[in-house]
Structure 1
């Protein structure tokens, strides 16, 4: 399986990249972003571009992909709705529309968030924009599209958030988050479980196009079981 990965330097993207590199069924990971990864691996093909709205310039290098894991995102804190929508809705749909056109058999997996507003009419600005983004992605002619809505995410395997305020928060709450995640695995997600779940739905699909924390946990568990069976 050949996959595209947006946002590989972010906290969630790092976890997804790790699981892709560990998965023997993944032969290539095309990482698209504005900054270099700083990671060398035979599976990785890195496409660094300053303008993610102009992916048509590297269109030929994005053909023949089986799945796309879109983990790119920004915090809405301090942003106007217009600016947040441009960097969330407009950017995601620009990339996804091109990929749907050149890879119609692709499965597209998008990291959204718990509380996303599918009606697009609620009070929360970020939730409306995320809801509009999800709805637009589900209308594109992909083989399948799935919206991941994790709640609290626990970083594992030495992964850290790029956002300074989040790093501080995780450093303060880190001693509490992992025990809580272990006790309530269906209510919280880890960077590892999100990566495993994305690979699982890319291969085998899911019952619903929208996956919350419990669904992510179930898909990750299925992926882990499949890996264990393959190694026997």
Structure 2
């Protein structure tokens, strides 16, 4: 059983069985500034850790049962989502908007001072004018989160997220992008971000309180800059990280 020390963060991660959420979980468990990590998801993670509290929750359309679990938390990293083309349009909106809004409602009621880090996407459109359903839904979720009353909300809008580790790609377009990634990264370096770099940035921002404003939106170029600390850029480039 892990015991928190003064100043350590109590962090919630939603979607830790996914790609970005999985990296966020690994990073959080290794971070000494984080005293406890509560993972909330539908699937078992398959491992234990002294800092980890795993909570299984099947119905994200109703998160009321999570009220006690979410009490006393300092921050949340929300990575729950679905790939365009992998689910129906109605399912995509339910997962992208409804689940996000419902979780945020319960977290806000249970831990009103917590910070919120949200995995959105490049092109997200809070005005609802985009022709792309994904962009409209992510924008709708962003708009609700920014008005929910959290003291700090950080919106991450990555472009193509490189999986880093081999996996079964969800759609043909993702299989194709992974295949051409070496060339794509060279031709369009500002349109890619490694999954582990994205996850680390999402965790760091809620733990360290980066930025003086209550809410910030990070586009892909901002996330890439956050992932490269002073003195590491040359080494990262040599290893194909940027």
* Band of TM-score, shorter chain: 0.7 to 0.9
Question: What are the superposed Cα offsets for residues 68-96 of structure 1, whole Å, 9 maximum, x if unpaired?
Answer: 11101012327554332222111110001
CA contact (8 A) 2:85 2:171 kept: no
Q: 1:224/1:200 Cα in 2 relative to 1: closer, same or farther (>3 Å)?
A: farther
TM-score, normalisation: structure 2: 0.81
The answer to whether residue 210 in structure 2 is matched with residue 205 in structure 1 is yes
Q: How does 1:1-232 map to 2 (within 5 A)?
A: 1-77=9-85, 81-156=89-164, 158=165, 160=167, 163=170, 165=172, 168-169=175-176, 172-173=179-180, 175-176=182-183, 180=186, 184=189, 186-202=190-206, 203-206=208-211, 209-222=216-229
- CA-atom RMSD, angstroms? 2.6
Structure 2 gaps, min length 5:
1-8, 233-242
2:235 aligned residue: none
Greater fraction helix: 1
Query: What TM-score results when the alignment is normalised by the length of structure 1?
Result: 0.84
Aligned residues, how many? 221
1:152–1:171 Cα change, 3 Å: closer
Distance across 1 between alignment mates of 2:77 and 2:230: 16
Q: Give, in angstroms, the shift of residue 58 of structure 1.
A: 3.0
SS in structure 2 opposite 1:60?
A: coil
**Separation in 1, partners of 2:50, 2:152:** 28
Task: Report SS of the residue matched to 1:45.
Answer: strand
The 2-side partners of 1:162 and 1:216 are apart by 23
Contact kept? 2:101, 2:145, Cα under 8 Å: yes
| Deviation of 1:193 (Å) | 1.1
Shift of 1:16: 1.2
